[in-house]
Amino acid sequence: MTLVALLLIPLLGGIVAAWCGRWSASAARTAALGAMVGALGLSLVVWTQHDFGITSVPGVEGVPSPWVLEYRAPWIPALGASIHLGLDGLSLLLVVLTNLLGVFAVLVSTREAERSGGFFYLSLLWNVAAVVGVFLALDLLLFFFFWEMMLIPMFFLIAVWGQDQAGGLTRNRAALKFFLFGQASGLLLLVSTLGLVYLHYRATGELTFDYDRLLGTTLPPDVAWWLMFGFFLAFALKLPIVPLHTWLGDAHCAAPPSGSVDLAGLLLKTAAYGMLRFTVPLFPEAALTFANTAMWLGVLTIVYGAVVAFSQHDLKRLVAYTGISHLGFVVVGIFAGTGQALTGVVLQMVAHALSAGALFLLCGEIQARLGTRDLRQLGGLAEPLPRLGSMVMFFAIASLGLPGLGNFVAEVLILSGTFAVAPVIAIGALSGLILSVAYALLMVQRALHGEPVGAGGFSDGAGAGPLLADLSARTLGLLLVLVTLLVGLGLYPQPVIDLVNAPLHAIEAGYRGFEFAPVFDPAGASSP
């Protein structure tokens, strides 16, 4: 029932918020905040109450279930589809992350909610609910349902509360672009799912959409490859992988700050989760034959995202492209598939959600103050706005992968895990470390350093022009929470690693088998 509650709290909270919105936006906001805090609290309680260290391989008879919590209810018996929810360390971590960023999105949304506040929070919370559903669903049809359900609230968030781009797409066009890419992904997912279910039916006579059942289905290699490729493409569109990434920049630029936090922090993570949970475990052999190509696509994504980010004028578009670059590491790590690389992938998902979420939030703050995000019109903000300046600096440094912060731990684990199986690809991915310094520092220079933008009418109070207010104590507090989490991840990531160890171990075992062990591991060398 806990799992159902995790889903129902944001769903019902959204309805309550919409209803409260009839009176005032702040009532809606309070309701939404209450629901999100409740959901976050519940997910944290789950973390503390259960033991996530059980190692087991799903789908193998005679082994205890890998799901720490599980829920089953009939849905469409004729099709073999049921409401099957399950939670292990990996899904719990992502649910916690989702709820945390949900709280943040509600807290930073004061400005958007001035217009149809109730509906705004309904969209926001249903979006969160859909994402939670994606992380919990163990029935492929149910998964598809939630996958599609994510699109609609986000479409509204962009189309209704978004903003038109001067010289670019209008918010409606951007929302449409986002929706069409999402639909393409959904179609691929549906077709591949149906294909898998049909072949499973032909092989065993059992019609089912159940994840546990479909695992380990024996398939002819070429069919398995195509199904795997379908799943891969479906998730690649959402992650996104170059060259399927072009919707992301437009969607971010048009989306309101809370929408961007959601988009970067949550929606993109569902794609990485999908690859980890479905593409690789369902078709391990096919994925292994595809691994080299996929990893090279990951390297391409890293390099291309960073190169395009370097020259962007729009701060938000720049951050969006850096996200593409960082998620390239995720692809590399998933298809490297070693325990280290997979751990790095999960840490990268968390670290990127936190750091990119913070940067998008800061983009919103800059725009609210200066009315623009165009780097050509910004400059010297560190002087009139020291708090904002130091926060942008911190998260820029986090994103360039400074050791001691979460992003570095993630990237170094991915690189090290990849180097063991594909050294050349690891070297390609390493170039991302150099390029990230180039774009992050250029961003800092153009936004924060140089002469303050006094010429444009803004000053630090000495001259003419409106006085710029620094970050409010509340926003600063929110950002400091993210700072603390990133530092924590960077210096002591063990709690997260232990949480996801068991499921990742299972994925690694299914994918790589135990075909390779560390080349040289003398006893005692690895233990401190």
Query: If residue 260 lies in a helix (H) or strand (E), which one and from where to where?
Result: helix 257-262
# of chain residues touching another protein (CB under 8 A): 64
Q: How many Cβ atoms sit within 10 Å of the Cβ of residue 270?
A: 24
Q: Are 175 and 254 in contact (CB under 8 A)?
A: yes
Q: Please choose, from the candidates 255, 207, 238, the residue with its C-alpha nearest in 3D space to the C-alpha of residue 134.
A: 238
Q: Please choose, from the candidates 98, 142, 146, 124, the residue with its C-alpha nearest in 3D space to the C-alpha of residue 25.
A: 124
In this chain, which of 307, 476, 481, 509 binds another protein, going by CB under 8 A? 307
Q: Please choose, from the candidates 38, 13, 8, the residue with its C-alpha nearest in 3D space to the C-alpha of residue 28.
A: 13
Tell whether residue 340 is a contact of another protein (CB under 8 A): yes
In this chain, which of 57, 223, 402, 509 binds another protein, going by CB under 8 A? 402
| Contact region with another protein (CB under 8 A), list: 125-133, 215-223, 238-246, 286-294 | 238-246
Tell whether residue 167 is a contact of another protein (CB under 8 A): no
- Ranges within 438-457 binding another protein (CB under 8 A): 438, 441-442, 445, 448-452
| Contact region with another protein (CB under 8 A), list: 147-155, 202-210, 258-266, 435-443 | 435-443
Point out which residues pair with 76 in neighbouring strands: 81
Q: Are 357 and 391 in contact (CB under 8 A)?
A: no
Q: Quick one: 23 or 492, whose CB is closer to another protein?
A: 492
Q: Quick one: 222 or 451, whose CB is closer to another protein?
A: 451
CB of 402 to another protein, least distance (A): 6
Q: Are 359 and 392 in contact (CB under 8 A)?
A: yes
- Ranges within 470-499 binding another protein (CB under 8 A): 491-494, 497
Number of H helices, E strands in the chain: 21, 2
In this chain, which of 134, 392, 397, 507 binds another protein, going by CB under 8 A? 397
CB of 121 to another protein, least distance (A): 33
In this chain, which of 415, 425, 453, 483 binds another protein, going by CB under 8 A? 415
- Ranges within 506-525 binding another protein (CB under 8 A): 518-522, 525
- Ranges within 121-150 binding another protein (CB under 8 A): none
Q: How many Cβ atoms sit within 10 Å of the Cβ of residue 278?
A: 24
Residues sharing a CB contact under 8 Å with residue 4, sequence separation 6 or more, in sequence order: 71, 85
What does the alpha-carbon distance between residue 118 and residue 122 come to, in Å, rounded to a whole number?
6
Residues sharing a CB contact under 8 Å with residue 143, sequence separation 6 or more, in sequence order: 134, 137, 193, 211, 278
CB of 399 to another protein, least distance (A): 13
Instruction: List contacts with another protein (CB under 8 A).
Output: 180, 242-246, 249, 307-308, 310-313, 339-340, 343, 380, 382-383, 386, 390, 397, 402-404, 408-409, 412-413, 415-416, 419-420, 423, 426-427, 430-431, 433-434, 437-438, 441-442, 445, 448-452, 491-494, 497, 518-522, 525-528
